[in-house]
Amino acid sequence: MHIFVWGETHPEFADALMPMACQPTAITGRNRLWRAMLLDGIRSDPAWQGGDYVEQPRQGLRTAVDLLLLAGSAPMPMQRDLATREIADGWLAAQQDRRIPALDANDLWYQVNASWNYDPSAGLEKITAPLTWINSADDFINPPELGLSEQYAPRIRNGRYRLIPNSVDGHGHGTHTWAVFWKADLAELLAHSGR
């Protein structure tokens, strides 16, 4: 998301840009709803105390982790890997046990809230650097069926859009953290930009 903002705010600064797992538009629809639910889950925990908590608001963090797990998941590998009720239930419990102690409610709340007014859509024509924008078909947060890439990609002068196909090897919203899916795109982008 920062790449779109940076690319239009400082078009002369970058030699190449590669936004991944994002859209260059306001956070609306289902994307806004799951974020609002996460923020409300934290805020509604009485232990949060307006952010001045003594101990982490565990119920609020539990709700947040539940939503993060769903929003970041990929359906095909989860169906394969969580093939029985017992496995799925055990996986969820293990995720909660592992993730909740590693979180700070205020930090997470501010991370999610930071994108509340995000919307670089008005300035996409200002982006001049070669840009390769990559999303994945299994991304709950940026689903391709919304048609946003078809709407916005043509406005980016030196831009190219690629959708990583859905597969059992995907990682949902986290697919962008696995270079195997986009390393060839990066090499092509760098070659095109003269780097």
CATH number of the domain bearing residue 184: 3.40.50.1820
Q: Does some domain include residue 120? A: no
Asked if 138 and 181 sit in the same domain, the reply is yes
Asked if 40 and 74 sit in the same domain, the reply is yes
Q: Which residues contact 81 (CB under 8 A, 6 or more apart)?
A: 87, 91
Q: Does some domain include residue 118? A: no
Phi, psi of 164 (to 5 degrees): -75, 125
User: Where do we find the tokens 């797990």?
Assistant: 69
Q: Does some domain include residue 179? A: yes
Q: How many domains does the chain have?
A: 2
* Residues listed for the chain: 195
Q: Does some domain include residue 119? A: no
pTM above 0.85, yes or no: yes
Q: What share of the chain is helix, strand, coil (3-state, %, to 5)?
A: 60, 5, 35
**Structural domain of residue 159, as residue ranges?**
2-26+125-193
Tens of each residue's pLDDT in the chain, 195 residues: 999 999 999 999 999 999 999 999 999 999 999 999 999 999 999 999 999 999 999 999 999 999 999 999 999 999 999 999 999 999 999 999 999 999 999 999 999 999 999 999 999 999 999 999 999 999 999 999 999 999 999 999 999 999 999 999 999 999 999 999 999 999 999 999 886
Specify the 3-state DSSP secondary structure of 131. strand
Asked if 82 and 41 sit in the same domain, the reply is yes
> Could you tell me if 34 and 16 are in contact, meaning their C-beta atoms sit under 8 angstroms apart?
no
Domain termination site, one of 57, 85, 113:
113
Q: Does some domain include residue 142? A: yes
Asked if 71 and 47 sit in the same domain, the reply is yes
The CATH number that applies at residue 94 is 1.10.1740.110
Q: Cα 65 vs. chain centroid, distance in angstroms?
A: 15
